[in-house]
Structures are given as C-alpha cells and as structure tokens.
Amino acid sequence: MLIGKACRVGGRVRSCVVKALARLFTSSSSMAKSKFEYVRNFETDDTCLRNCYIVVRLDGRNFHKFAEQHKFTKPNDNRALGLMTQSARSVMGELEDIVIAYGQSDEFSFVFKRTSTLFKRRASKLMTHVASQFSSSYVFYWKEFFGEQPLLYPPGFDGRVVLYPSNRNLRDYLSWRQADCHINNLYNTVFWTLVQKGGLTTAQAEDRLKRDETVTKRMKLPNEEEKDVPVTRSRRRVQAYHCDIIGDQFWEEHPDILEDDNC
C-alpha cells in the first residue's frame, strides 16, 4: 500500500521508499526468523545406528476391505501381487542403497545396506520416501495390472523402521516374514478350498479349522513359491525371484547382498 502511494510521487522518492522498506523488512524478518527459529530444536534426532541394516516395512492400510472392494481373487490375487512387486521395483529404482526387498500379501520389507548414508540415515526420511514412492507407484501402475477395473479410492501404506545389527538377525527377520507368508497362505488355501470346493460357509470353514489343526498340517500347498517375492539387486539390475529365503541356498547364490559382519 505504501509503495503504491510512493509510486505516484515520482521515481526517486519511490526508489528511496522501496529501499527503506526493503531494509526494514529484511531486518524485521531476520529478527522474526531468529525469534522463531528455536522451534527447530523440537525436532528429534532419528539417525539410525551405524553398522545396522535398516529395514523399512510397509503394510497396506485396511487391505481386508480394499481387497474385497477390488474383487481380489481368493486366496491369492496374481494381479495384486504383480502390482506390489512392480511398486517395489520402482522404490528400488529410486533408492539405490536397497539391497533386497521381500513382499507378501499387502506388505513389503526393504533392506538398506548396512553402510548406507542415504539421507544421513534419518529414519523418518528413509521411511517416508519408501512409503510415498511405493504408494504413488501402486496407483500409477494400477491399470497395467488391473486393466479396465477401476481403482475406487487411494490406497495407503503405513511404514516402520527396524534395525538389525548382524547378518543372522537380518536373515532371521526375512525368514520370519517368509514363514508368516507360508502359514497364512496354507490357512487361506485350505479355508477357501473348504468354502469353494467343499461347499462350507465361511463360518463353518473357520470352525472346522479351529477344531482340526491337522487339516492344515496334512495339506500341501500348490505353487506355494509364487505367493511371495524377494526382489534383489545385483550390479544395479533389479530382479524378482519366487524362492525360499529361509535356507542357505539363496544366500550362497547371492553373496553380494549381505555385507561383512565385522565392519
């Protein structure tokens, strides 16, 4: 408003007023800045401990409902699994310190190499970059996997960061996720076989499995290896595998994933 008035009284006056105002503004804004700047100290240090593998695990929000509303096939939907894998590839493409990612159902774990200095190892930065890249990719690639079936609303994924200090701990973590996949997959396969082929209601199938644990123990899973995906990187190429990661073979065939324990 003042500048507008000065404009009308001529060029020189205007430039003086502008300079004076600029000085006033700079000094008062820098005073204000320093007055408010203390709030920065409320930020907490979330640097991840050195020498640890940093694992970011994402999990789909309310995917029970999401799967139903998008008509995922039971017990496993290959389109959904393919889309999850593609989204994980996209994350690995952007964040090159990720050495392996393992996914099943609506979750994916990403392992950063233990010597990574990406984003100064700040947990919140690592986690939010993984979660946002994954979520936007899930939406971006939806049509590639689901064709004309529309995405009804934006899906979300939560994230957490866990640190593992040794190769054994990291392998046990990944084994835990794969064992969880097998158990759920076994249960779901038997459950939906009882419903779809055995003619039981969902309540009857649940009751039957509660009473008779041997049903699941006796059953062998068809194509079990295709329901989860470790995605690894070797010489910058990202590759997907459907294989066991609990035993030693996978790790012997990919010696470049784990780093030396004595660093």
80, 92, 245, 258: residue in contact with ligand GDP (rule CB under 6 A): 80
Nearest partner of 210 among 194, 227, 224, judged by Cα: 194
Task: Answer yes or no whether residue 222 interacts with ligand GDP by CB under 6 A.
Answer: no
Contact map string, positions 183 to 212, toward ligand GDP, x by CB under 6 A: ------------------------------
What is the smallest separation between the CB atom of 181 and ligand GDP, expressed in angstroms?
11
53, 60, 174, 177: residue in contact with ligand GDP (rule CB under 6 A): 60
Burial of 187 (0-12, 13-18, 19+ CB in 10 A): middle
Nearest partner of 250 among 237, 231, 224, judged by Cα: 231
Distance CA 203, CA 55 (A): 37
Task: Name 111's bridge partners.
Answer: 55, 100
Nearest partner of 79 among 177, 149, 154, 136, judged by Cα: 149
Among 75-83, 120-128, 151-159, 237-245, the segment contacting ligand GDP (CB under 6 A): 75-83
Q: Is 112 left (phi over 0), alpha (psi -120 to 50) or beta?
A: beta
Nearest partner of 87 among 110, 64, 68, 61, judged by Cα: 110
Task: Answer yes or no whether residue 133 interacts with ligand GDP by CB under 6 A.
Answer: no
Task: Answer yes or no whether residue 180 interacts with ligand GDP by CB under 6 A.
Answer: no
What is the smallest separation between the CB atom of 106 and ligand GDP, expressed in angstroms?
4
Among 27-35, 55-63, 118-126, 170-178, the segment contacting ligand GDP (CB under 6 A): 55-63
Contact map string, positions 92 to 131, toward Mg ion, x by CB under 5 A: --------------x-------------------------
Q: Which does 77 bind (CB under 5 to 8 A by kind): ligand GDP, Mg ion, none?
A: ligand GDP
What is the smallest separation between the CB atom of 62 and Mg ion, expressed in angstroms?
7
CA atoms within 13 A of residue 57's CA, in its CB half-sphere = 16
CB contact at 8 A, 54 and 48: yes
- Our CA angle for 166, 172, 174, nearest 5°, is 105
Q: Residue 104: helix, strand or coil by DSSP?
A: strand
Contact map string, positions 81 to 120, toward ligand GDP, x by CB under 6 A: ------------------------xx--------------
Q: Which residues bind Mg ion (CB under 5 A)?
A: 59-60, 63, 106
Where does this chain bind ligand GDP (CB under 6 A)? 59-60, 62-64, 67, 72, 74, 76-77, 80, 105-106
